[in-house]
Amino acid sequence: MKDKDGSRLPCTGVFGALTVSQVMDNPAKVLIRLLLAFVIGNGLLFFAYRLFFLWSFASDLTASDVIGVSLRGLRFDVALMGLETGLLGLAFWWRGLRFRALFTALLGFTYVHALACFSNYLFFQERGQHFWEMFMANVTEPKEMYIAVAPLFFHQPVLAVLLAGASLGLAAFWSRMRPRFSKVPANFVAAVGGRGRAIILLLILFSLSLEPIIIKRMIRKTEWPIGLRPGIAASTLYMGWSDYRVNQGIVNPVFDFVTYHLPGSLSLHRQFTLDRAEALAMTRALIGAPQSSGAYPLLREIRSDLSLGIENVILLQVEGLSDSYVHLEVKGRPVMPFLQRLTREWLYFPKVIQSFNATDGSVFATFTGFPETFVERNAVDFLEYDSGGHYASLSRLLGERNYQHFFFQAFRHRTAQYLAFARNQGYQAYGVDYFESRLGGGLPKAEVGNVLGVFDGVFLQEAADALIRAPKKFTAHIVTATSHSPWTTPPSFGAVFDEKVINSFHYVDRSLEAFVERLRKELPRFDRTLIVIVADHTSTRAPDLLRRIHVPLFFFSTGLLREKDRWLKQREIWGSHIDIVPTILDLLGGHYCYSGMGQSLLSATALGKGVLSGSRGEGYYVKDQFAFRYASPSGAMSLHAIGSDQGSGGTDVAQEQAMVFEQMRREYFALYETSKHLTRERNAFPSSGTGACK
């Protein structure tokens, strides 16, 4: 039946078409039908997303696995829609809501849901990360957002076109239907009546009640009278599978972003865990720093009697280099034969883990000797106290009188922030624009780089040119870019391996070998040069925790080769990026006034030490045969036993190992909070000089 002017409203689908007269004759019924259509339609959307996600990324799934993931995820789906409809009620309930505004809002929410699922799937396919991890790091910088997203769309141009077409189609549909809504009176919500309002309110409250609510036991009962407090649980608390990729299927991209990651990025969560003085005292004991009442409480002397003749230091941080790629073979052929050989020939540490799962955190940790506290602020970026702080970097420790200090970066992403940070630490910093301008006249553009940055081969050769011409002793910190999505290499390199990711790492391996061999032939006093190779972070999606955070670390110098067997026992030490500079100082020999949380991996006192690692919203602490995990802001904690294959095991053994759990919990928060306080309050290293180490 049509109304008198024949207008039909576009409320079609499982509930049929509606006319203007029907809307006004029974508004409560229409409103319920509209909200149910929204909930059911979007529920099916999220269900389809999860099935496709699991089908694409997980393997060996059973029917019970799929059902379990779907039901756990459904709670977050319905809770999200409850939050959205609740916001609509708060915004328009008493002032009256036009039918057009209501329909527009529900259609807009549906579009955002579809876009988030689409984007998250593509991003996870490319990088093994969720979309918001990049989004929150660049939300205030449109140019950087483009740089971060561009490789994804360059890699998937057909899907990008489809997305643009769907968006334009939706806009055209809405533009065509908009005039019809003007015929519905403005007081649509008022016409619903008291009974209708009560029904809608009950539906909203019911959907909100499905949101997981947890009661968190506080470590200190002074925060809440009974030692308990309610809190919103994130999807991480419902990830009960040992397969990392299956657990990621539970995630609702919009719900987790709105209730978990966005609040974590907008505020710094206070940790009510350890008293500050207690945390500092425990940190000093863990890293072997003397007790001090000075302004720089971790200031201490590093003494080394080694005499290896080392003068120059080259530190290469390779993008996304998981340790597993170093050992990977495809059809009997090593993917990275050069680095694989170095595990036998150079001083190689097989138990090193990333400080953070993004370049920002690893660069910061390597420079400063402090793990960046990205976990609780749930975003990655160099904040003012990061880039403007004064730290015990190699440039500060060795000074400028006898040294030049170089920082070379091939990565286009946030390059200005990296360069500013390096320059604040005393480095001559050169970014992607500099190298592109040097290479632009001599090579075809396709051979220079892609949207991500400059290809490693030509980049490292340009870096070698600069180091060969250096007039005095130097240090160089070099950050590469190629081994990252979209995984492209110069056209001249070809496809040695069929898979783009594998081929990209093979190209990186050849580039590193060519760089080292060029220096061996042309660098003056190469025999007095120390070369360090480490990954900034991994790029594996392995379900095993430690495989996901396991990076290679190599040291080489001519003099070191004669001595490396004396440190075979040290290969059992857990290490991370914060330990690199203290280890370099040990190899240089002499006395240095150092301030940081790292320890030399060559020191006998480092045996048995623990190591911090982290990702956005989750921190790890690995020590001996256990891995402690902490989720922020939910506060969930667990303990996992490390097997012979360095796996986390997936099972929480906190109850069985109560004493170990409590000790590792205290050590984790002691180290984490000490790093947070000293870096943010600029008590890391004296800005006027090295100061007294007493």
Residue 466 lies in a domain: no
* Average pLDDT per 10 consecutive residues for the chain, totaling 694 residues: 49 48 58 81 94 88 90 86 78 61 84 89 77 65 69 69 80 70 53 58 57 43 40 66 80 82 56 75 92 83 93 97 96 97 96 91 94 66 66 93 95 85 91 92 89 95 97 97 92 94 97 98 97 94 83 96 89 95 96 95 91 87 94 84 58 92 94 88 76 57
68 and 181 inside one domain: yes
Same domain, 139 and 286: no
> Residue 429: which of 486, 501, 363, 384 has the closest Cα?
363
Parent domain of 48: 8-266
437 CB-contact burial (10 Å; exposed 0-12 / middle 13-18 / buried 19+): exposed
Residue 456 maps to a domain? no
Contact 81, 38 (CB under 8 A): yes
Q: Is 278 exposed, middle or buried, given 0-12, 13-18 or 19+ CB atoms closer than 10 A?
A: middle
Domains in the chain, number: 2
What is the pTM (predicted TM-score) of this model? 0.82
Q: Within a domain: residue 667? A: yes
Out of 266, 300, 332, a domain closes at 266
- Boundary of a domain, candidates 202, 233, 266: 266
State whether 238 and 332 are in the same domain.
Answer: no
Whole-angstrom CA distances from 655 to 39, 399, 642, 647, 662 are: 40, 50, 16, 19, 10
- Identify whether 29 is part of a domain: yes
Give the integer Cα–Cα distance in Å for 582 and 84.
51
Report the length, in residues, of the chain: 694
- d(Cα 118, Cα 31) in Å, to the nearest integer? 29
Same domain for 22 and 130, yes or no, is yes
Residue 570, judged by CB atoms within 10 A of its CB (0-12, 13-18, 19+), counts as buried
Closest CA to 367 of 419, 412, 402, 411: 419
Domain assignment of residue 489, yes or no: no
Residue 486 is assigned to a structural domain of this protein: no
Same structural domain, 62 and 169: yes
Q: What is the CA radius of gyration of the chain?
A: 28
The answer to whether residue 364 sits within a structural domain is yes
| pLDDT score of 645 | 42
Compute CA 543 distance to the chain's CA centroid, rounded to the nearest angstrom. Answer: 16
Same-domain pairing of 196 and 244: yes
Name the residue with tokens 């409590």: 662
Identify whether residues 239 and 281 lie together within a single domain. no
Q: Helix 456-468 vs helix 500-522: angle between axes, to the nearest 10 degrees?
A: 20
Are 91 and 114 within one domain?
Answer: yes
> For residue 160, what pLDDT is reported?
72
**Residue 579 burial by CB count (10 A; 0-12/13-18/19+): exposed, middle or buried?**
buried
**Alpha helices, H only, 183-266:** 188-209, 244-248, 253-256, 262-266
Domain assignment present for residue 536? The answer is no
pLDDT at 101: 75
Q: What is the maximum alpha-carbon separation in the chain?
A: 97
Same domain, 85 and 184: yes
Q: Are residues 281 and 249 in the same domain?
A: no
Q: Determine contact, residues 362/480, Cβ cutoff 8 Å.
A: no
The pLDDT, as a whole number, for residue 385 is 57
Residue 155 shares a structural domain with residue 218? yes
Token pair belonging to 70: 């779907």
| Angle CA 576–581–584, to nearest 5 | 115
Kindly state whether residues 258 and 285 are assigned to the same domain. no
